[in-house]
Amino acid sequence: MVKSDSQMILGFPSLEDVDVQNCSGMKYLFPYLMAASLEKLKKLGISNCGQMKEVVRKEEGDRSEADVISFPSLTHVSISGCSDFQGFIPRPTSVERKLGKTAEENDESPPPLFNEMVKLPNIKSLQIVGAQCKELWNNQSPDDSFSKLESLRVAHYNKL
C-alpha cells in the first residue's frame, strides 16, 4: 500500500497482466501512486472503454510535475475502442494547471499519447486503435522508451 496525505492507495507490486474491457464509465485505470508500484506489469489491454481518457491519472499534489513513471517490465500494450482516450499520462499545460481546465476546454490540440512523463524501456508490441490524438509520441519522450519496439499497429485515426 502507498500512503498519500489523506488516503491509502493499494499497490499491486506483483501484478503482471491487466485486461480491462467494456467499462464504459471508467475515465482512468490507475491513480498515479498506484502506477508507480507496477514494476512487474508485462501486458496491458484496454478495450471498449468509451470514456477512458488516460491510463494513469496524475492529480495535483502527486509528487512533482517532473516525475516520470517507468514501467520497466511492460512489453505489450493494446488500447482499442476508447474514443475519448487522450494519453498514457497526460501532462497538463501551465495554462491548464492555472485554470484547472483540460486541453479540450482550452481549445488546444490534444497532446501526444506518450510523452516525457512515461518511460517504457522494454515495450515490444504497441497497438492503438481509434484514439483522439495528432501524434503518438513527441521528441521529448525518454531516450530509451520504445527502443525495443518490434510491432506497431495504429488504426482508425482521423487526426493522425
Sorted by where each begins, the domain ranges of the chain are 1-57+65-160
- The tens-digit pLDDT sequence of the chain (160 residues) is 344 444 555 678 899 999 999 999 999 999 988 998 999 999 999 999 999 999 999 876 655 556 788 999 999 999 999 988 988 987 655 444 444 555 445 556 667 888 888 899 999 999 999 877 778 887 666 667 888 999 999 888 666 5
Q: How far apart are CA 128 and CA 78, in angstroms?
A: 6
Please state, in angstroms and rounded to a whole number, the distance separating the CA atoms of residues 135 and 155. Answer: 13
The pTM (predicted TM-score) of the whole model is 0.80
